[in-house]
Amino acid sequence: EVQLVESGGGLVQPGRSLRLSCTASGFTFGDYAMGWFRQAPGKGLEWVGFIRSKAYGGTTEYAASVEGRFTISRDDSKSIAYLQMNSLKTEDTAVYYCTRDRRVSYYYYYMDVWGKGTTVTVSS
Amino acid sequence: EIVLTQSPGTLSLSPGERATLSCRASQSVSSSYLAWYQQKPGQAPRLLIYGASSRATGIPDRFSGSGSGTDFTLTISRLEPEDFAVYYCQQYGSSLRTFGQGTKLEIK
């Protein structure tokens, strides 16, 4: 069974850092791009960013709202994707979802598998 | 940024009825790179449709997608009790992936 499990969420003060993990199983992790999305309480879905597979350079793309503060990385040997979040703001409070991204071109991907999410609360 | 506007905001129907959900884009969506997701309370979104009209693996054939350019539609032919949820359209034809605000499908 294809599965993604996020972990690492919690309560953190503004300005601090947090690292989320996404552990994958049931598929060849290294063959896929991996993405992160978030959903603030009572709000819609927002794309955070993604990392391409090594076959496509392992490069990353980010939403403007997190560019320079968040970093996505991957460890294909462990089937884990990471979201390093620095300089956190109260508006980063959300449920964070990990996704498996299916490639249609170098730039364009859709998400075919989602994890259940992990909650991040940024508050003093 | 491509802005997606979904209508209606809330749709009240009964099981067995047909549901038609609309998604309009502020500019043409490249190559019909549009997807639909279903989300139930406390759960992750689930992919229903990609490429505007292709059903994802395991999705019942009562779900269908259509449209191109700026206008897209998700149709559920005969509503089952488990179909009542929030539905999001999402475009992936630009470097910034964006979502609609969602349509809540509720039991009448």
Burial class, B51, CB count within 10 angstroms (exposed 0-12 / middle 13-18 / buried 19+): middle
Per DSSP, the residues of A16-47 read --EEEEEEEESS-GGGSEEEEEEE-TT--EEE
Nearest by CB: A47 against B46, B93, B97: B97
pLDDT score recorded for residue A60: 96
Determine contact: A77 vs chain B, CB below 8 A. Answer: no
Which parts of chain B sit beneath pLDDT 50? Answer: none
**Mean pLDDT for chain A?**
96
Q: Are B28 and B71 in contact (CB under 8 A)?
A: no
Tell me which residue in B43, B50, B95 faces A61 most closely, judged by beta carbons: B95
- A32 and chain B: CB distance < 8 Å anywhere? no
A108 pLDDT above the threshold of 90 = no
Contact of A109 with chain B, judged by CB distance below 8 Å, is answered with yes
> Tell me, what's the pLDDT at B51?
94
Backbone angles phi, psi at A11, to 5 degrees: -95, 130
Give the dihedral sign, CA B22/A108/B62/A3.
negative
Rounded Cα distance, A1 and A22, in Å:
16
Q: Note the pLDDT of residue A6.
A: 97
Per-residue pLDDT, B44: 87
CA proximity to B66, closest of B23, B98, B99, B103: B23
- A78 CB-contact burial (10 Å; exposed 0-12 / middle 13-18 / buried 19+): exposed
